[in-house]
Structure 1
């Protein structure tokens, strides 16, 4: 699928901001429209993404101000719109690979149901994937999909993008509930991730709902500490 024009402009502007080509203000909409040979609305969509992700702030009558930033050796992503590895790839210059370490259709046991938002006896697809960033095993995704709420999954599908597959099958995903916590590392974490001296992991729990309001996915994304930050950008839209 071809990349949307506004998104390619957004990525180019992010690159220029990070490389200090722009330090205080973005060029005017007119200049950007002329440079990228596109419509003013397309440029505005790119600038809106910059604002949403904390790179800039639009001030009426002045233009688009570039917000000060600092460099950290971490991969950053927006917790508000986190969609797994694709979000990290989109927000950072990083090479990624996915290793599927477990895929099976299971019946949820009574014991497992105590720590998941599903009922004992339900049929689920269990998917375990190790996310490799810059050749390091940094994220362990433990996902459970309700078999009666999603199109049939296979090993080949989960090795690619599950969400792209859902979209191709006209499945509508409308909402998610998330929480972040830190827990002690399990034996499985130690075996699958490059934890080094860490004895804990960061966990982003993700409960995802379809357009009928049905919960169809529960995922734990388990992160190596010290290598990620979750951001949430807030703007003051009122007058000071």
Structure 2
């Protein structure tokens, strides 16, 4: 190991962190690699390694064709049953929500099947942009059965949807969820302020009202998360 190179890389990373803390805000562009190279008197390789570490840590974010920017923060979440608002507050962020769509429509086949709806039967569609400290984190598409939630769309949907479901007498007790890597679709990318095709995390979730409810879920949702602002962690043990 090149000990001097290792120490220099750590030193440059600290200098960049100090620079960000002193003069930059979330969303601001970082100086170019050549400028940093000259300012710190180190090689381009050392600068790139320091920046890569800060990107990995969630302090910086690279946008292809534009440069490197100060991150709005990386939300680290453990796998557990919680609403978006609870998740964000637990991570130290202030959550907010913007409703994009709230209407009645015929759901896609997958949503209709999960909700136990007949072909052509309508459902509530609620599409929301979720933010942490004002920065977009995810787009949530939820489909819900109208016959169990009359008047849902006329209520306030900017808070916890789980809270709304509980108020209707359908508290969520457990969920089934899958997570996969995906490429952002154009419309979703625009809402998340990322390039179309950028890497995202796709969560598919079925929410049930009983701990061992065998019936159809109260909600079927697909949530698209920015992979540079959201990270899932888990603790595993040998049983």
Q: Secondary structure at the match of 2:86?
A: helix
Deviation digits for residues 84-141 of structure 1 (CA, Å, limit 9, x no counterpart): 2322222x11122110011001233xxx214663443222110011011122112101
Q: Which residue does the alignment assign to 2:131?
A: 132
Tell me how far 1:151 sits from its aligned partner.
4.8
CA contact (8 A) 1:180 1:204 kept: yes
- Alignment match of 1:223 (pick from 219, 222, 225): 225
Task: Map residues 47-196 of structure 1 onto 2, 5 A cutoff.
Answer: 72-73=57-58, 74-90=74-90, 92-108=91-107, 112-114=108-110, 117-118=114-115, 119=117, 120-196=119-195
Q: Distance in 1 between matches of 2:158 and 2:136?
A: 16
Q: Please state whether the residue corresponding to 1:160 is helix, strand or coil.
A: coil
Change (3 A) 1:164 1:115: closer
Q: Which runs of 5+ in 2 are unaligned?
A: 1-55, 59-73
Q: Is the 8 A contact 1:104 1:126 kept in 2?
A: yes
Q: Contact (CA 8 Å) 1:136, 1:194: kept in 2 or not?
A: no
The separation in 2 between residues aligned to 1:115 and 1:144, in whole angstroms, is 7
- Deviation, 1:163, is 1.7
1:30 equivalent in structure 2:
none
Deviation at 1:183, TM superposition (A): 1.7
- Per-residue Cα deviation, 1:154-196 (whole angstroms, up to 9, x for no partner): 2432123222222233323222110001122112112211225
Instruction: Check conservation: 1:123, 1:148, Cα contact below 8 A.
Output: no
Large movers: runs of 4+ above 6 Å: none
Contact 2:88 2:132 in 1 (8 A): no
Give the number of the structure whose alpha-carbon radius of gyration is greater.
Answer: 2
| Residue 208 of structure 2: aligned partner | 209
Question: Which region of structure 1 is more displaced relative to structure 2, 221-230 or 152-161?
Answer: 152-161
Taking structure 1 as the reference length, the TM-score comes to 0.60
Deviations 1:55-100 (A, max 9, x none): xxxxxxxxxxxxxxxx94321112232432322222x111221100
